[in-house]
Amino acid sequence: MTQKNDIENLISLFSKLPGLGQRSARRIVLHLLQEPEIRLHNLIEMLSITKSKIVTCEECYNLDIISPCNICSDHSRDQSVITIVESVADLWAMERAKIFDGTYHILGGALSASKNMLPNDLRLPKLIERCETHNIKEVILATNATIEGQTTAFFIMEQLKDLDLYISRIASGIPIGGELDYIDEGTLTAAMNSRKQFDN
């Protein structure tokens, strides 16, 4: 077996990134290597800065360079409302759409037997603590419109039902099976605006 050379290893590393395959990985590596002193240098610099600064928010589990993150510490936002999402990508989708000016809570996934995501894997203790101690008035369940996302939304509602909260679920606009990160901003806006009170 021949040893892969370093350039091939780099291409292989890039090709494993989400959304990239072998062909785009090769194009990126070639682009970087054509002006390594500038392109590769800048990339290394930015990766290194990001690695040294990035932290997980102690409140909502967002990724940022401060904790509590810029959203949790922004008092021009409505700190009494929490939108619950599965992932940081979903939070970014909401922020891109500029449809919500409250705070978030990132679950880290959805309940799933196949992915072995169990209730204890969701970041619920912190969510309940926030609801109890931060004067939270409304919780919006914005988990994906997949079976896992729906199951998770019902499960969380059960966990929160004894607290004095208005609980809503994002509604129409999100296609069944749809993941927030892939939905255009108009559709996401419609879904947020037409959210309904969530109950059994």
Least separation in angstroms between CB 57 and Zn ion: 3
Would you give the DSSP letter of residue 112?
Answer: B
From the list 10, 29, 62, 148, which residue makes contact with Zn ion (rule: CB under 5 A)? 62
Binding-residue total with Zn ion (CB under 5 A): 6
The mark string for 6-45 relative to Zn ion (x by CB under 5 A, - otherwise) is ----------------------------------------
Minimum CB distance to Zn ion smaller for 14 or for 104: 104
Question: Contacts by 151-156 with C-beta closer than 8 Å and gap 24+?
Answer: 151/110, 151/111, 152/86, 152/107, 152/110, 152/111, 152/122, 153/198, 154/200, 155/111, 155/119, 155/122, 156/84, 156/122, 156/124, 156/127
Minimum CB distance to Zn ion smaller for 13 or for 55: 55
Q: Does 57 bind Zn ion (CB under 5 A)?
A: yes
Q: Does 60 bind Zn ion (CB under 5 A)?
A: yes
Minimum CB distance to Zn ion smaller for 83 or for 174: 83
Question: How far is the CA of 83 from the CAs of 63, 166, 169, 172, 190, in angstroms?
Answer: 16, 12, 9, 17, 15
CA distance 108 to 122: 6
Q: Does 69 bind Zn ion (CB under 5 A)?
A: yes
User: Is the Cβ–Cβ distance between 58 and 47 less than 8 Å?
Assistant: no
The mark string for 124-163 relative to Zn ion (x by CB under 5 A, - otherwise) is ----------------------------------------
Residues that bind Zn ion (CB under 5 A): 57, 59-60, 62, 69, 72
